[in-house]
Structures are given as structure tokens and as C-alpha cells.
Amino acid sequence: MTALSPIIVGLDLDSAEEAVRMARDLAPHVGGFKVGLGLLHGPGPATVGALAELGLPVFADAKLHDIPTQVEAAARRLGRWGARWVTAHVAGGAAMLTATVSGLADGSGGAAGVLGVTVLTSLDAGALAAIGIASTPGRLVSRMARVAARTGCEGVVCSPQEIGVVADVAPDLLKVIPGIRPDPGRTDDQARVATPRQAMARGADWLVIGRPITRAPDPAAAAAAIAADLAEFRGAAVQP
């Protein structure tokens, strides 16, 4: 983690123009931006390039999951658009992840890294059981983190509850954490959440925060408040 704010804002908005406009307002308070499926499948990957011009890292949350040749091609193109990170589902298997890493490295000139998506924060043990996965989220994330590490991923996306699991089995992986809610009483469609301070205390490297910022009455003020709180927390954490 750098001296940048650890906040990556999930710009899950209706248009690329709206996303870029909001990103300009938020840039002084955050460390990067996430482009999700809504924008990637609407305005398209050019949105990544437009945001990258603002000078902060852009996380293309493409959640790639297909045969290796397809994800390799997609990752290569996203790398050419300037994505700093691209996500791929670890459930796609080791060969697919290896292809994603290769394609992204080629497209970005080695400047970008793959984040392996482990267990979505909208799922819990009951939801996994309903689709035939007889494992807790923690055990499944542990296995997936090992696969991500050995296939060359730079990091993983996991819920706040599995940060320690990832640190134990694959300590060199970046831990990029969605499911962040400053108000712990408001989970929206997330099942496994934490406050920003809780996630940082558990060892998160980056926090992906969307609706608590983008749907706030004043998004820049909301981002600034979270950033200030985290700066205070991080400063206290390094005191002797």
C-alpha cells in the first residue's frame, strides 16, 4: 500500500460522462477508481481509458470467466486501455488465470496485475450450499487464494471476513476488499461486510467503496470524510 488514500471508488453509474465527472470531483480524496460491469458492457472499456487520464489507478472489474483464450484476449485489450488491475474469477481455474495474467501483461506492457475474485461478498454459507458448494466462505477463499498466488495474480478480491485467511496462506497477495459500509447497519445487497476501519485493522490493502460515496448527497464530502477517518486511523496505528 502506498501513501495514497486506500479508497477505490466503485463508479457504478449510468454513463461514462457521469463517471468521469464524479471521478474528477473525488480524485483529491481517493486512491483510484473501479469500473464495473454496468459501464464495461454499456459505454465500454473506453471508460477505463478516460478515467486513467486522471492519473489514478483504474480497476477494471470485468470478472472474466471463460475459456483461457477468451479471457487472455479480453485482458490484453483492457491492459491496452490503461487498466491497472483486471479481475478474473478464480473459479475459472488455474489455466484461465494464467492466461489472464499473460494477456494483461502483454496488453499493459507489464504495468498491470490480475486480481482473482474469490467468493462474492453477496454470498454466505447458505447461498454456497444452495448451488452445491459444501464449504464455508473462509475455506473456499483459502483454496482460491493459493491458486491465485501460484498463477501469478497480483492480488485477490475477498470480503473483509477473509482478509486474515488470505494473509495466512498467500501473504504476498494484495487484498482488495469490497463490502465496505461506513454505516454497519446498512448492508444493501452485501452479506459479508465491515466498516472501513475494521477492514484496515484486519489488513486490507485497498477498500472498494461504491454506494456510500456515489449515492451520498455530496459524494466528494462523503469521500473526504472516510479518507480523513482512515488517515487518522492509519496514523494512530503507526504510533509507538
Task: Please identify every residue annotated as catalytic.
Answer: 63
Contact 77, 70 (CB under 8 A): no
Contact 198, 158 (CB under 8 A): no
Contact 181, 123 (CB under 8 A): no
How do beta strands 206-209 and 174-177 pair?
parallel
Contact 154, 113 (CB under 8 A): yes
Query: Dihedral angle at the C-alpha atoms of 55, 52, 159, 1, nearest 10 degrees?
Result: -30
How do beta strands 155-157 and 174-177 pair?
parallel
Dihedral sign, Cα of residue 173, residue 178, residue 98, residue 77: negative
Helix, strand, or coil here: 72? helix
CB atoms within 10 A of CB 50: 19
Helix, strand, or coil here: 18? helix
